[in-house]
Structure 1
Amino acid sequence: MTGGGMRSRRRSIDKAGGIGSAVAVGAGLWLGVATLVQPRLALADEAFTTDQTASAVSVLDLTTKKLVATIPVPGKPAGIAMAPDGRYAYVTSPEGRDVSVIDTAARRVLRKIAVGEDPLGIGIDPSGTFVYVADFDIPYLYKVDVQKGVVVGKAKVGNSPCGVAVTPDGKEIVVADRNDDKISILDAASFKEIATVAVGKHPFGVTIDAQGKRVYSADVMSNQVSVIDLATRKRIGIVKTGMHPYVVALGKTYGFSTDELSGTVTVFDLATLKLVKRINVGDYPEGIELSPDGKRVYVVNWFSNDVWAIDPKTLEVVAKMKVGDGPRAFGTFIRKTP
């Protein structure tokens, strides 16, 4: 599922089993209580990492750089989408075949919504009304109404869909179709595919810039990032990365890709698409996101069980923080506090 060789201790949890096409709705309340006591109102920005091996979500205080809570989430969680207001986090569990709705302040799972056979990538619209979930085993994207807790739409996409991103205006959705070496673009209103664009081999993470003009696709087996113009539906550039890029984060000047097999972050200039630097990080980096103020880049290292912070100006590592076992944080995982 990841586009490359995984360590044997992780291979079994990186692919969900089961074949089928049923869409069910979970209505029960799941009392996933955090194992550490924490006040309901946090005072600092936080990172919520999906710890796949541990079947949990770690909550990391980004000011104190300490783990402040661990929330049980069964089913080997992988993908995550943070609500725009930070009140909820939506987590996919490939082996649980569901999405967990987490109250970020209370540190608990409110409910679980059954979605597809192997839910992996997840994106959220700017209003926070819907999440879009990619089913890796079955080539569908699901539309979930998070207030009602129900699946309200299903759209056919390419084979083995992974990453999901939504334009800032909420009008279009982009999905990485791993085994078809392309991205699919869907109209959010009609929930139908309106275009596809060929990229490199095995795209995994997709990221849309703040202007809604460009898509950045991490093409795992091509060791590159493809840059797509959303208006023309054409690839307009390629950035060479380290081995097996997984996810791209965007700052004001630079783009950052996690290079899983190289254990690096590739930094490139967004204007010229030229390499700026490669930064050594932890073991098998995957999730990556900028802080809300843009002053830090947070890198989640899947095999070394930690989160590293990079200063986007100096391009130096400034902190290393431990989390649970097997963190992926595939999606948006930073919670900005009120």
Structure 2
Amino acid sequence: MANRQALTDTQTIVEANMQKTVLLAASLLWGLARPAAAQPFDADIRNNTLAVSPNESVAVAGNSQTAELKVYDLARGKLAATLPGFVTPRNIVFSPDGQRIYVTDSSKGVLERWNVGALKLEASLALGPGAFGSAIDRSGSRLYVNNQAANSVSVVDLADWRVLKVITGFSGPRQGIKLSPDGADLYVTNFRSDKLSVVDTATLTLRREIGGFDKIRAISVSADGGTLYAANSGADTLARVDTKTGRITATVPVGREPYGAALRPDGKALYAGNLKSGSLTEVALPDFKPAAEIGGLSGPRQAISFSRDSRKAWVLNQDLSVAELDLATRGIVREIQP
């Protein structure tokens, strides 16, 4: 028994050291690569991000070319505040209670926790340069963060504010990362290999890979967990994936260079954010056929959020203005300016 316990302890120490090595290596490479003046780490990769609070009163927006975040009062339709101090902000998620936001910055190589009420930075956690997309579980206890430079996913315990594990074996994971509704599976997009990795969240190990994409971007998962949707920006399509078989069952043409694949809460429609077309393509479900094109937008990407009743959508434009859409009329109701 003593030998078996010693072996277990040794394995735990080795795994912890490996996780530290991944983060340290990425940080050292960044330190060697950057000049004395602070410069963006991965400025050639561009993205935007928009998060709406659970009570739909606040929206926080950013893009990787702007070193600040915009905080909008959705009730008044006005800019409420600007949060400074970023280099290349990548992703924003709200805590389930709406009291905090978690922000990744790939150049600073950190995850930041901000108090929404006070609009103050509470804490910063080093994850290594390349920290990108993130997904929070329903309980708000765990956050998963892609690192496109280290080809890894960091698992963060939000209560203890520490990295539980660094999962390796990915290939350029960027913004696309989603949990299944039951929290059992984590889906991670690999931009370099054009594959989708499936992680078992109980064991924090890679379960399998799904291929056949073309410049995969955003993903969404159906409420029953049986279907995944992905944007193919290289093929101007959205793909439908059977999560049980791991096969692409259909594709549908949308606008030019789709980044978004946003699923409406009621599950009746899917929206592609078409960067080059300046539009959203509405895809009817379950038919999986184009239903409408909503224009008048400027450089929409992944940053698309919905009201809980599926009547509204908020879409981030390239100038960080937020377009509010009436999904019944498919029209822009207003634009909130930065």
Quick one: distance in 2 between partners of 1:296 and 1:23? 43
TM-score under structure 1 length normalisation: 0.80
Quick one: distance in 1 between partners of 2:134 and 2:262? 16
Quick one: distance in 1 between partners of 2:24 and 2:235? 34
Quick one: distance in 1 between partners of 2:132 and 2:56? 28
Of 191, 194, 210, the match for 1:197 = 210
CA shift for structure 1 position 179: 1.1
CA shift for structure 1 position 50: 2.0
Quick one: distance in 1 between partners of 2:276 and 2:188? 23
Q: Is 1:309 matched up with 2:324?
A: yes
Over residues 226-280 of structure 1, what are the superposed CA-to-partner deviations in whole Å (9 max), with x where a residue is unaligned? 1112222221221211111112221221111111111111100121110011111
Quick one: distance in 2 between partners of 1:267 and 1:312? 10
SS at match of 1:262: coil
Q: Is 1:265 matched up with 2:265?
A: no
CA shift for structure 1 position 51: 4.0
Give aligned-pair identity as a percent.
Answer: 24
Report 1 or 2 for greater relative contact order, CA contacts < 8 Å, sequence distance ≥ 6. 1
Contact 1:48-1:57 within 8 A present in 2 as well: yes
Of 268, 292, 295, the match for 2:308 = 292
CA shift for structure 1 position 313: 1.4
Give 1:1-338 correspondences, 5 Å limit.
Answer: 21-22=22-23, 45-162=57-174, 163-251=176-264, 252=266, 253-286=268-301, 287-302=303-318, 304-323=319-338
Supply the AA of the counterpart residue of 2:262.
Answer: A
Supply the AA of the counterpart residue of 2:305.
Answer: E
Gapped regions of structure 2 (runs ≥ 5): 1-20, 26-53
Quick one: distance in 2 between partners of 1:53 and 1:110? 24
CA shift for structure 1 position 203: 0.8
Report which of the two structures shows the higher radius of gyration computed on alpha carbons: 2
Contact 1:204-1:218 within 8 A present in 2 as well: yes
Quick one: distance in 2 between partners of 1:160 and 1:276? 33
Quick one: distance in 2 between partners of 1:149 and 1:73? 21
| Structure ranking higher in helix proportion | 2
Over residues 197-246 of structure 1, what are the superposed CA-to-partner deviations in whole Å (9 max), with x where a residue is unaligned? 11321112111122222211111111111111222222122121111111
Quick one: distance in 1 between partners of 2:177 and 2:132? 9
Contact 1:117-1:135 within 8 A present in 2 as well: yes
Q: 1:194 to 1:44 in 2, by over 3 A?
A: closer
Contact 2:62-2:320 within 8 A present in 1 as well: no
SS at match of 1:70: strand
| Structure ranking higher in strand proportion | 1
Contact 2:55-2:98 within 8 A present in 1 as well: no
SS at match of 1:245: coil
Between stretches 97-106 and 45-54, larger displacement belongs to 45-54
Gapped regions of structure 1 (runs ≥ 5): 1-19, 25-41, 324-338
Supply the AA of the counterpart residue of 2:167.
Answer: A
**Pairwise CA RMSD:** 2.0
Over residues 165-218 of structure 1, what are the superposed CA-to-partner deviations in whole Å (9 max), with x where a residue is unaligned? 111221110011111111111000111111111132111211112222221111
Quick one: distance in 1 between partners of 2:234 and 2:161? 36
Between stretches 210-219 and 121-130, larger displacement belongs to 210-219
SS at match of 2:128: coil
Aligned match of 1:3: none
SS at match of 1:292: coil
CA shift for structure 1 position 49: 0.6
Quick one: distance in 2 between partners of 1:53 and 1:92? 14
CA shift for structure 1 position 44: 5.8
SS at match of 1:244: coil
Quick one: distance in 1 between partners of 2:55 and 2:202? 37
